[in-house]
Copies of this chain bind each other. A is one copy, B any other.
Amino acid sequence: MENQIIEGKEPKERILNAAASLFASKGYAAVGVREIADLAQVNVSMISYYFNGKFGILKEIILRYFQEVRQIYEQTWAKNLPPEDALRTIVSELVNLIKNKTIFCKVAITEMPFNLPEFSDFKAEVVRLHIDYIKQGLKLIELFVDDPKYGSIITPAMISLIFSHFLFGPLIKKVWSVETDDEYYDLYAKTISTLMLEGIMGIKKLIEQNNQGEQK
């Protein structure tokens, strides 16, 4: 992930892209505003001018991420697909989103587990803002396995599966090198969705076996 000088475009977009690149590489808190300004080739006070401060950049990135994800969900629901196809489509579209906007998505997802004070409030607000389609996503899982306990396990699992290559892939890269072209990401999406679906079917079977065991 090279931190190339961000050229062209408007200063605001340059700041956003520079910051995203740096946040994805080092994490939000480890990046200073002067570093962002240098990379974006702007004056440091422009960060306050355009984004009301450093945190404003992070907010913008995360809002954009959630907006993109929302769009994918909404477009998939609009197709009225059967559950399996819906899940495959969502996974495929999400992988595509992450592939095309790796940096933005990585920033959003890697800041999720942290509870910085100012960030907590914002995170709660974003979840509230998007709660409708998050719930619809959960309902999709419930079409397969209708039990909150399993749902609460499977939903985070699905998120992390989709992101797994982008978060942990580089670490494993030390062991082998695989060409990550478009074909790879197609295979990735197919593999992840297969893993999800077959896994969920296996869990469903497990539950049914347990229920039969309990009826005897």
Contacts and interface: CB of A to CB of B under 8 A. Distances in A.
Given A113-B170, A152-B169, A161-B164, 12 more contacts: A26-B114, A29-B30, A110-B113, A148-B176, A149-B187, A152-B172, A153-B164, A154-B195, A156-B169, A194-B199, A196-B199, A198-B201
Interface residues of A, number: 68
Contacts of A190: 206
Interface stretch (A5-13, A41-49, A67-75, A130-138): A130-138
Contacts of A216: none
Interface string A104-143: 0010001111111000000110011001001100100000
B165 A153 contact: yes
A48 to B, nearest CB: 20
Interface in A13-65: 25-30
Contacts of A161: 157, 160-161, 164
Interface of A: 1, 25-30, 106, 110-116, 123-124, 127-128, 131, 134-135, 138, 148-157, 159-161, 163-172, 174-176, 178, 184, 187-188, 190-192, 194-203, 205-206
A123 B172 CA distance: 12
A26 to B, nearest CB: 5
B149 A178 contact: yes
A124 B199 contact: no
A137 to B, nearest CB: 10
Nearest to A167: B113
